[in-house]
């Protein structure tokens, strides 16, 4: 979060007036207070000259944000919340944002919304990418216009973003393999891999990359594991998912381990609770309220979090600091791979 003079004053235990006098090298401040304020400024990384110059310029910074459409309580809601929070914090530097939403199960909708952005007048773009074939033409057009962009959630190779905020999806899937397989199928067996699909389209880069990382762990460690795909249709009819799950659990009583490489593990978790399924170990991703509810009740055994709020906030911060404050920003900003269970979830809930 951007450091304000109010923050410096509070931490130093002095008035705003004292901080202002130190900033402008005015009299009326004891040497002890001056040293303390300067020390706090250095500790917090406060850069008054750049901020003052930016404020004086009266420049506005117009963002476009292209992310999947989402409902309340879903993963992308938290990403958007982080973006909106950062825009609010940087509003005095002229930051504002227009949101564009695409259907993650319809790749062409990404191109349609991207064309709207390219036809507008934006200084920078925040992108939650779709598959490479549709993402790269859009980013190439942005490169041609000299418009900087930041990726959140997933990275697309062959592109040149100013920064990326998200997990290393391959490493996340690999980590999942190292946790789940020795624990659940040390001598080989079958694991159910649940996927939300529409016409065989998964709609998630991360889901694909995590599974690749998981398979890499299997190959490297010689695990004799069979992965059984279970496609859960995303056609707006919950009964369709229930039908698939009923058939799966009734036909495969010996399969006791399942993975959900995206944020919708609650679909299976809630079915387990409603149907009273016993002794099934399910791993999923992200702290959605419905996922957390299933975790607390034992229907999900563990969740892996990727801090979507921090991703959204960091994207705006990076673009603002680079464009307005002329600062170099870190290109790769990898989120921790947080492994959460019912025993430690309370330490992660906001």
Class of residue 124 by CB neighbours under 10 A (exposed 0-12, middle 13-18, buried 19+): buried
Residue 345 lies in a domain: no
In a domain, 203, yes or no: yes
Claim: this prediction has a pTM higher than 0.85: no
> CB neighbours (10 Å) of residue 145?
11
Lowest-pLDDT range of 21-25, 76-80, 252-256: 21-25
* pLDDT greater than 60 at residue 54: no
Dump pLDDT digits (tens) for 184-234. 887 788 999 999 887 777 767 888 899 999 999 999 998 889 999 999 987
Please indicate, yes or no, whether residues 175 and 91 belong to a single structural domain of this protein. Answer: no
- Asked if 225 and 298 sit in the same domain, the reply is yes
Share of the chain above pLDDT 90, in %: 61
SS3 227: strand
What's the pLDDT score for residue 95?
Answer: 85
**Domain for residue 349, yes or no?**
no
Q: Is residue 128 part of a domain?
A: yes
Per-residue pLDDT, 310 = 95
Q: Where are the beta strands (DSSP E) in the chain?
A: 61-68, 95-102, 124-127, 149-152, 163-166, 189-197, 225-233, 257-260, 281-285, 302-305, 332-334, 338-340
pLDDT of residue 53: 57
Read off the DSSP letter of residue 347: G
Domain boundary among 265, 287, 305: 305
Average pLDDT over residues 86-113: 91
The DSSP output letter for 278 is -
Predicted local distance difference test score (pLDDT) of residue 46:
79
The answer to whether residue 150 scores a pLDDT higher than 60 is: yes
Residue 347 lies in a domain: no
Q: How far is CA 124 from the centre of its chain?
A: 19
- What six digits make up the tokens of 97? 């944002």
* Predicted confidence band of residue 49 (pLDDT cuts 50, 70, 90): low
Average pLDDT over residues 80-102: 91
Work out the average pLDDT over 146-150. 96
* Same-domain pairing of 174 and 228: yes
Q: Return the CATH number at 232.
A: 3.40.50.2300
Same domain, 252 and 332: no
- Note down the domain range covering 194: 169-305
Q: Check whether residue 195 and residue 299 sit in a common domain.
A: yes
Q: Give CA angle at 184 (181, 189), nearest 5°.
A: 80
Sorted by sequence, the CB contacts under 8 Å of residue 337 that are 6+ apart come out as: 167, 171, 172, 175, 304, 306
Is 301 within a domain?
A: yes
Which whole number is the average pLDDT over 75-83? 94
Q: Which two tokens stand for residue 209?
A: 């990359």
Same domain membership, residue 15 and residue 67: no
Q: What is the pLDDT of residue 25?
A: 72
Long-range contacts of 49-53 (CB under 8 A, 24+ apart): 50/325, 50/326, 50/327, 51/93, 51/325
pLDDT in tens, 224-277: 899 999 999 876 567 889 999 999 999 999 999 999 998 999 999 999 999 999
Same domain, 160 and 173: no
Judgement on whether residues 239 and 300 belong to the same structural domain of the protein: yes
The reply to whether 343 falls in a domain is no
Confidence of residue 325 (pLDDT cuts 50, 70, 90): confident
Q: Do residues 291 and 221 both lie within one domain? A: yes
Mean pLDDT of 15-22: 86
State the pLDDT at residue 55: 56
Q: Indicate whether 298 and 197 sit together in one domain.
A: yes
In this prediction, residue 337 carries a pLDDT of: 93
Residues 91-105: what's their mean pLDDT? 89
Residue 350 lies in a domain: no
CATH number of 27's domain: 1.10.260.40
What pLDDT does 57 receive?
Answer: 59
Residues 6 or more apart whose CB falls under 8 angstroms from that of 100 comprise 64, 65, 66, 67, 113, 114, 116, 117
Q: Is 272 exposed, middle or buried (0-12, 13-18, 19+ CB in 10 A)?
A: buried
Number of domains within the chain: 3
* pLDDT of amino acid 111: 96
Domain shared by 92 and 173, yes or no? no
Q: Are 227 and 193 in contact (CB under 8 A)?
A: yes
Q: At what angle do helices 238-251 and 266-275 cross, to 10 degrees?
A: 70
Q: Are residues 173 and 150 located together in one domain of the fold?
A: no
């Amino acid at each position: 979060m951007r450091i304000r003079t109010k923050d410096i004053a509070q931490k130093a235990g002095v008035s705003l007036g004292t901080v202002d006098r130190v900033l402008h090298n005015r009299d009326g401040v004891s040497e002890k207070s001056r040293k303390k304020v300067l020390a706090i400024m250095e500790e917090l990384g406060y850069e008054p000259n750049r901020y003052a110059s930016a404020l004086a310029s009266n420049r506005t910074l117009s963002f476009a944000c292209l992310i999947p459409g989402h409902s309340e309580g879903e993963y992308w809601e938290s990403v958007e919340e982080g973006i909106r929070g950062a825009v609010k914090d940087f509003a005095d530097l002229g930051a504002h944002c227009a949101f564009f939403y695409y259907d993650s199960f319809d790749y062409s909708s990404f191109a349609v919304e991207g064309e709207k952005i390219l036809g507008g007048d934006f200084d920078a773009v925040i992108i939650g990418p779709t598959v490479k074939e549709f993402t790269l033409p859009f980013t190439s057009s942005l490169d041609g216009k000299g418009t900087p962009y930041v990726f959140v959630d997933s990275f697309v190779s062959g592109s040149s973003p100013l920064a990326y905020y998200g997990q290393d999806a391959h490493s996340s899937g690999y980590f999942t393999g190292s946790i789940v397989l020795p624990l659940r199928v040390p001598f080989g067996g079958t694991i159910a891999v649940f996927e939300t699909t529409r016409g065989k389209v998964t709609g998630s880069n991360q889901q694909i990359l995590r599974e690749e990382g998981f398979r890499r762990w299997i190959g490297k460690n010689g695990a004799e594991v069979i992965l059984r795909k279970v496609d859960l249709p995303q056609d707006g009819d919950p009964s369709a998912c229930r039908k698939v799950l009923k058939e799966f659990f009734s036909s495969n009583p010996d399969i006791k381990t399942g993975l959900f490489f995206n944020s919708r593990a609650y679909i299976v978790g809630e079915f387990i609770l409603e149907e009273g399924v016993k002794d099934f170990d399910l791993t999923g991703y992200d702290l959605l309220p419905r996922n957390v509810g299933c975790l607390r009740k034992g229907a999900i055994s563990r969740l892996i979090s990727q801090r979507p709020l921090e991703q959204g906030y960091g994207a705006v911060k990076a673009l603002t600091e680079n464009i307005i404050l002329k600062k170099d920003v870190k290109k790769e900003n990898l989120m921790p791979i947080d492994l959460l269970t019912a025993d430690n979830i309370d330490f992660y809930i906001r």
